[in-house]
Amino acid sequence: MTDVATETLVAPAASDTPAETPITPAAETPLAEEARGPLSRREAKSGLRQDRTVEPAVEIPAGGAEPAVGGAEPLVGGAEPAVGGADPAAGGAAPAVTPPVEAVAPIVVPIPADHPLRKLGIQELTAKSPLEERGIRAMLNSYVRRKEVDERDHKIAMYEEKIARRDAQEAADQKWRSTPGYQSAVERYTELKEAYGEDVANQFWRGVSVEYKQIEDTEYQTRIGAIKEEREQAAAETWAQQAWQNQARLPEPIRTLPDFPRWFQNATLAFNAELERGAYPEAQNDQDLHAAFGKFFSARLVAEPAVVAAFKGMETSKQRQSQAATEQAAAKQREREAIEKAAVEKAMKEIAAKRQGSPLHPLGNLPASAGRDRLPAESNGDVETDLSKMTPHQLRKAQREASRLDSRRRLAPS
């Protein structure tokens, strides 16, 4: 087989007359097969058998290159054949090549060194997607932001104290220079300096400066007191706003009462007075204070008659709603039962109408005079003849019995 194939594939010499090249039909491409439609099960099986039995042909590429080992076709453009794919030219269906799904590598989010999770031994968190990464970073950054806000507030307080100290010194210097004792102290300082030297004069001046220090401290306390009062007022407003937002857990009928804002304001002032007297020593942070205020405010609310009446109205409304829901469910049940009953009655009427129009005997409708002849002999004619009072089962039973007796009488030998 190899010799024949070699003789056929050898290129003719330039001097020889070119032989006619046999025209071979072009192999069908996968696009042609797709246009032809999907293969049937039988065609697919036959194509697989051909792939197993037909020996692959060895082709020699142009340029005298050696054929690939095992008869495999040379790869064009470096593309690799699909694993397990069928040859379109052999009649097999071309499998759809699905691109490989790239596995998404987990995203590691390190935890800052000063974060509380580090104290629990957690060094990093793993996210499965960029969206989870953003969520984890936002969760970690919330602590960082709070810490940055605290540091900012601390720096602002420090700068305010420095400014207050500088302003107090300037104001104290102006006030002291305007006092009568300042001029006499300056004259005395000059005399002591000329008579006894600078050391003695400086000692005298340090003693005189006590008055200046008193004025400076007074000015500083006035300014820093105003700053602290402003800070406390801002913190109190923030805390009261947060406490007001926490009251959203209360029922709406309570929060919409006209006196509710006044009750809240009075409770805030009373709770502040309790704190000044040293109550609630266990509350060490804002969260504990809000929890304690919630209990304190609830205890004051239940003592208000309007709140008690609102709670009773809520209970009554809840009972009415439950009763209305029960009545509505019962009405729907009655409606369903009425519909089912009407459907059953309609079906029974249709069956009765169909029964009246159908023959009572398999041989056909018989005249009324023949009805008595069809009755059983043992009954002597004493049989219920009113068919309208019989049930369907009784009607079928009576028809079978009458047919059996009539057939016996007709076929009995005379």
Q: Is 258 exposed, middle or buried (0-12, 13-18, 19+ CB in 10 A)?
A: exposed
Whether residues 127 and 202 fall in one domain: yes
pLDDT digits (tens, 9 = 90+) for 234-251: 888 888 898 999 988 888
Specify the pLDDT at position 337: 92
Q: 64 pLDDT exceeds 50?
A: no
Structural domain harbouring 178: 111-234
In a domain, residue 378? The reply is no
Q: Which residues are bridge partners to 109 per DSSP?
A: 125
Same domain, residue pair 265 and 193: no
180 class by beta-carbon count within 10 Å (0-12 exposed, 13-18 middle, 19+ buried): exposed
- Domain count within the chain: 3
Q: Which residue has the higher pLDDT, 368 or 349?
A: 349
What is the pLDDT of the chain when averaged over all its residues?
74
User: Of the ranges 50-64, 196-210, 302-316, 381-395, which one carries the lowest mean pLDDT score?
Assistant: 50-64
Same domain for 116 and 91, yes or no, is: no
Give per-residue pLDDT as tens, 258-286: 999 999 999 999 998 888 888 888 888 88
Tell whether pTM > 0.75.
no
Same domain, residue pair 263 and 162: no
Backbone φ/ψ region at 47: left (φ over 0), alpha (ψ -120 to 50), beta: alpha
First to last CA, the chain: 97
pLDDT score recorded for residue 139: 84
Q: Which residues of 115-136 are buried (b: 16+ CB within 10 A; e: fewer)?
A: eeeeeeeeeebebeeeeebeeb
Q: Does 227 share its domain with 266?
A: no
221 and 147, same domain (yes or no): yes
- At 339, list the tokens: 């519909």
pLDDT digits (tens, 9 = 90+) for 99-120: 665 666 888 888 888 888 888 8
Residues 196 and 296 in one domain: no
Better-scored residue on pLDDT, 7 or 224: 224
Residue 177 lies in a domain: yes
Could you report the per-residue pLDDT of 5-45, keeping only the tens digit for each? 333 333 344 444 444 444 444 444 444 444 455 566 677 66
pLDDT at 296: 92
